[in-house]
Structure 1
Amino acid sequence: MAVERMLHTPEAEQLLELTRDLVDKEVAPRAAADEEEALFPRDLFATLGGTGLLGLPYPAEYGGGEQPYEVYLQVVEELARGWLAVGLGLSVHTLSCYPMAAFGSREQKAAHLPAMVSGELLGAYCLSETSSGSDAAALTTRAEHVDGGYRVNGAKAWITHGGRADYYTLFARTGAPDSGTRGISCFHVPSDTPGLGAATPEHKMGMRSSPTAGVLFDEVALGADALVGEEDRGFGIALAALDSGRLGIAACAVGLAQAALDAALAYSRERRQFGSAIGDFQGTGFMLADMATQIAASRELYLSAARLRDAGRPFGKQAAMAKLMATDTAMKVTTDAVQVFGGYGYTRDFPVERYMREAKVLQIVEGTNQVQRLVISRHLAREA
């Protein structure tokens, strides 16, 4: 179903048309089969880079598209509508680029960003650990000072693109063990750095084409030029990146929910019972109406937050709200889509069972929805 959008420029409209065409011809047709076989679509990320979609929010000076976040997020939504693993992969890659683009030196940007936004390199974001998921400030991976740079030891967990990324944006402790948020630093680590490895990928209930694995650092030697931003100030970089990343997850959730609604609508017109299409029955029609309303509201919420970001205004609370509402909506809508299909919805002959399995992870990544409620409530307390 075509979604009416308000775009500011002809260039933005062309980008959305390009994305829709790419989704319909190259992304969506592969999704079901590749998910079944857990095949990682690395070639599609190279294609996104070649068409300019992999670096949309970053400066043209380094090969980016220099587009507003409002436009970039709609591209993410369209990709997620076709295949969540690709939409979420773009969101994670953009998240991994953010520290370099926002806090890197001019020399670092010139050396790294062009390959990062062109599709030549694919990134991963290394913040979570087995004992410090929601409590990111409790991370224990350590970067110790040595002559000429740092030596890193530790392990990261639940890393999207773990073992398949070309570089890792790493957050490690450079301060004392009890330094909390003040002793964390950000590093750019190429995947071929000696001592860096990956654990066996996780066996997940959904998004099997998106590899998730632990990333291991065993006596990894980094030069001083691997540090991104100021030493011991990396936690602020991580939080700033996550605010934007939450909007990416919200856009992914809306795209997935839209795909589920589209499938349910089509089926409700084809499936007949008691002499009528099931979509003509009030029970089904009202369910579809609620699904469409929740999707539209979630879309407007993430776009509103994006406009705040584009205007340079605080948007952390709105990003948490968008992530919370959109991912809860995706879970509800995909569950209802399975209900519309009835028994067929519980089989792998139709995509809605996959959508339902995929939706669950969106309530967990980039901060669980319980954490989003905590973020929102703290904003409210400060404002009061």
Structure 2
Amino acid sequence: MSARYLNEEHKIYRESLKKFLDQEVRPYFDQWEEERIIPRDLWTKMGENGFLCPWVDEQYGGLEADFGYSVVFNEEIERVGTGMVGLGLHNDIVVPYFDTYGTEEQKERWIPKCVTGEYITAIAMTEPDAGSDLAGIKTTAIQQGDHYVLNGQKTFITNGIHADLIVVVAKTDPDAVPPHKGISLFVVEKDMPGFSRGRKLDKIGLHSQDTAELFFEDVKVPKENLLGEEGKGFYYLMDQLQQERLTVAISAQVAAEEMLQMTTEYVKERKAFGQPVSKIQTVQHKMAEVATEVRIGRSFLDDVIEHHMKSKSVVTEVSMAKWWITDMARRVATTCMQLHGGYGYMEEYPIARRYRDIPVSSIYAGTNDIMKNIIAKNMGL
């Protein structure tokens, strides 16, 4: 079943991307999972082949493609494994901040190298004591002459080890009332004195995705690296988080579809009591439930994507999709691992990795409880 928003050009792009992933990623992905990091040269290879930020204007090296290309990209890297999520974050979450809020000088300085893969990006919001409550961050950026002095700590930062450019959320007015009006965004470059990376965090899942702590100690950030207007950072985040949450929903949906497919194949092959497990009625009912939830998720998601591509306001719908689909994928993971029996608990079976990787999707980009708060607020409750 093909979505209404995809056309023949998207299909050609998908086939090209799949061929690239088959050659350059799938043969090595297990190794990267063991090594707990994806090599930098994958980014430059992807850039050389036109897979990074295809939506960017031609003047900055992009193809001026629509969001349908981003959907295809995020779907196909998820089919390889959720540990590829940092590429999607670069393409459709971080670089859009440069494009939307950057000056012409900033765009010319940063975006072309993001398209080629020479620059890898990250966004640093979360702190040890502030996650979904962004107004509670403690990192500060105090203006002194022609620069800001940045101090603070960030954690759980995707692409944190590799990143060359980091969009850092900081308070330029720590005394602002309400607090969110004092938040601004800055672009920290990897070689700025006072910036350092902490340990690469050891996670339950997403093993190949580098996630790190970042430290900023009296980092002198030039005024030219302020992104957008001072004090508008919180509003920029709220605008851009909708697409981030949509990409999370896309990845979770694909993960659920992959788990359904692998489990369908397994129960047809696995025999118990002299017959395929798929012939047992309780197994059939479980598979029917999973298949139904996965289809419902895809139908709703495609509708939200289509509205997003038409620039309609989808804040409520995106929040619904992010919450329901990631929760659904977690249920699917549990059911599918159970249907694999003892083999589902073995690392050699891909369902084990999926089971480890999917839970975080209900946490990042705003927890699912926050999604429900947004939905309830928009219902007028």
TM-score for the superposition, normalised by structure 2: 0.94
What letter is aligned with 1:71?
Y
Tell whether the 8 Å contact from 1:53 to 1:65 is kept in structure 2 after alignment.
no
**Aligned pairs (5 A) from 1:39-54:** 39-54=37-52
Deviations 1:247-302 (A, max 9, x none): 11111112222221221122122111233221232222232232222223223333
Tell whether the 8 Å contact from 1:168 to 1:189 is kept in structure 2 after alignment.
yes
What letter is aligned with 1:135?
D
Deviations 1:182-217 (A, max 9, x none): 111111111111111111122111111111111111
Deviations 1:215-250 (A, max 9, x none): 111111111110111111111111112111001111
Q: What displacement does 1:88 show?
A: 4.5
What letter is aligned with 1:376?
I
Match of 2:318 in 1: 319
Secondary structure of the residue aligned to 1:28 is: coil
What letter is aligned with 2:308?
R
Match of 1:276 in 2: 275
Match of 1:107 in 2: 105
**Counterpart Cα distance in 2 of 1:67 and 1:357:** 33
Tell whether the 8 Å contact from 2:6 to 2:68 is kept in structure 1 after alignment.
no
Match of 1:241 in 2: 240
**Counterpart Cα distance in 1 of 2:277 and 2:49:** 41
Cα distance change, pair 18–6 in 1 and its aligned pair in 2 (3 A): farther
Cα distance change, pair 78–158 in 1 and its aligned pair in 2 (3 A): same
**Counterpart Cα distance in 2 of 1:338 and 1:201:** 28
Q: What displacement does 1:143 show?
A: 0.7
Tell whether the 8 Å contact from 1:54 to 1:94 is kept in structure 2 after alignment.
no
Q: Are 1:19 and 2:26 counterparts?
A: no
**Counterpart Cα distance in 2 of 1:114 and 1:92:** 13
Match of 1:33 in 2: 31
Q: Are 1:301 and 2:307 counterparts?
A: no
**Counterpart Cα distance in 1 of 2:349 and 2:264:** 13
What letter is aligned with 2:291?
A
**Counterpart Cα distance in 2 of 1:63 and 1:295:** 37
Q: Are 1:360 and 2:359 counterparts?
A: yes
Q: Greater CA deviation, 60-69 or 333-342?
A: 60-69
Deviations 1:290-342 (A, max 9, x none): 22222232233333222222212211111111111221121111111111210
Match of 2:88 in 1: 90
**Aligned pairs (5 A) from 1:1-384:** 4-179=2-177, 180-381=179-380
**Counterpart Cα distance in 2 of 1:215 and 1:323:** 27
Q: Greater CA deviation, 265-274 or 44-53?
A: 44-53
Tell whether the 8 Å contact from 1:80 to 1:86 is kept in structure 2 after alignment.
yes
Q: Greater CA deviation, 83-92 or 346-355?
A: 83-92
Q: Greater CA deviation, 229-238 or 112-121?
A: 112-121
**Counterpart Cα distance in 2 of 1:69 and 1:328:** 24
**Counterpart Cα distance in 2 of 1:379 and 1:74:** 30
TM-score for the superposition, normalised by structure 1: 0.93
Cα distance change, pair 351–265 in 1 and its aligned pair in 2 (3 A): same
Cα distance change, pair 282–19 in 1 and its aligned pair in 2 (3 A): farther
Secondary structure of the residue aligned to 1:188 is: strand
**Counterpart Cα distance in 2 of 1:182 and 1:36:** 43
Runs of 4+ with deviation above 4 angstroms: none
Cα distance change, pair 41–321 in 1 and its aligned pair in 2 (3 A): farther
Deviations 1:116-156 (A, max 9, x none): 12212110011111111010011111111112121111111
**Counterpart Cα distance in 2 of 1:318 and 1:7:** 17
**Counterpart Cα distance in 2 of 1:295 and 1:75:** 20
**Counterpart Cα distance in 2 of 1:275 and 1:303:** 41
Secondary structure of the residue aligned to 2:380 is: helix
Tell whether the 8 Å contact from 1:89 to 1:210 is kept in structure 2 after alignment.
no
Q: Greater CA deviation, 247-256 or 81-90?
A: 81-90
**Counterpart Cα distance in 2 of 1:45 and 1:94:** 15
Q: What displacement does 1:92 show?
A: 4.6
Secondary structure of the residue aligned to 1:55 is: coil
Q: Greater CA deviation, 284-293 or 265-274?
A: 284-293
**Counterpart Cα distance in 2 of 1:44 and 1:294:** 34
**Counterpart Cα distance in 2 of 1:297 and 1:74:** 19
**Counterpart Cα distance in 2 of 1:71 and 1:6:** 13
